[in-house]
Amino acid sequence: MSDPREALARIRALLAAAPEDTAYTPRPVLTEPELLAWEAAHGLTLPDEYRLFLREIGDGGTMPGAYCDFVLDPLAEVRGGRSAATPFPVTTDRLRERLRRLKSEGHPADGVLFPELVPYWEDDQPPGCLVFGQYPSSDALFLVACGDLRGSVWCAVCRGIPETDPSGEPFGFLAWFADALSDLRREVP
């Protein structure tokens, strides 16, 4: 994962350069005591990059989209707090194996890369993650909070796919957010 300070600098530059009518508007930041209180109430330490985002950029926010807005929920509204301390069902080894197979076999006809996640979405969401927002397509975004993929960002499209950098490595929260902001700015008419 990338250097958090570099990602924060890139995020700040993107926020400063955005036209006001299409900019991501963060909510006020959270304080360390507020973060500690949430973590104590949920029995979970938030991934470092997400904590840094909440303390230095904002407690969620929105960006206007052509169809739907890009939304990051405030921490008080994220889903999954009660099951987020349980390990996420996909491991790093499983992710790497699946991405290797994807290169040789292509995408499955149904688009589902991790069938083991399907039953969880039928009930609510997989354990070990926090659903924290949505893309303008209304696809939910979730952060792995427990397990060896802790700190990686996933999209709920096709029952769960990792957000990856160009080399195929899972994005940490800050690099993902900077990349998403950059991509979404290009899509605004």
Query: What's at 24, amino acid-wise?
Result: Y
Q: What is the dihedral of CA 170, 81, 57, 161, to 10 degrees?
A: 20
Give the integer Cα–Cα distance in Å for 72 and 82: 19
- pTM (two decimals): 0.92
Sheet with 161-162, side-by-side order of all strands? 25-26, 61-63, 70-72, 129-134, 140-144, 153-155, 161-162
Query: The domain 4-187 belongs to what CATH superfamily?
Result: SMI1/KNR4-like (3.40.1580.10)
Q: Tell me how crowded residue 97 is: count the other CB atoms within 10 A of its CB.
A: 11
Question: In degrees rounded to 5, what are phi and psi of residue 130?
Answer: -120, 125
In this structure, what DSSP letter does residue 87 have? P
| Residue that is written with structure tokens 């899972």 in the block | 170
pLDDT less than 50: residues of the chain: 1, 188-189
User: In sequence order, what DSSP letters do the residues of 105-124 get, joined into one string?
Assistant: H---TT--S-GGGHHHHHHS
Q: What is the DSSP string of 12-79?
A: HHHHHHS-GGG--EEPPPPPHHHHHHHHHHHT-PPPHHHHHHHHHT-S-EEE--SSS-EEE--GGG-B
pLDDT at 171: 94
- What is residue 187's predicted lDDT score, i.e. its pLDDT? 53
141 φ, ψ to 5°?
Answer: -115, 140
Distance CA 66, CA 155 (A): 19
What's residue 188's pLDDT?
47
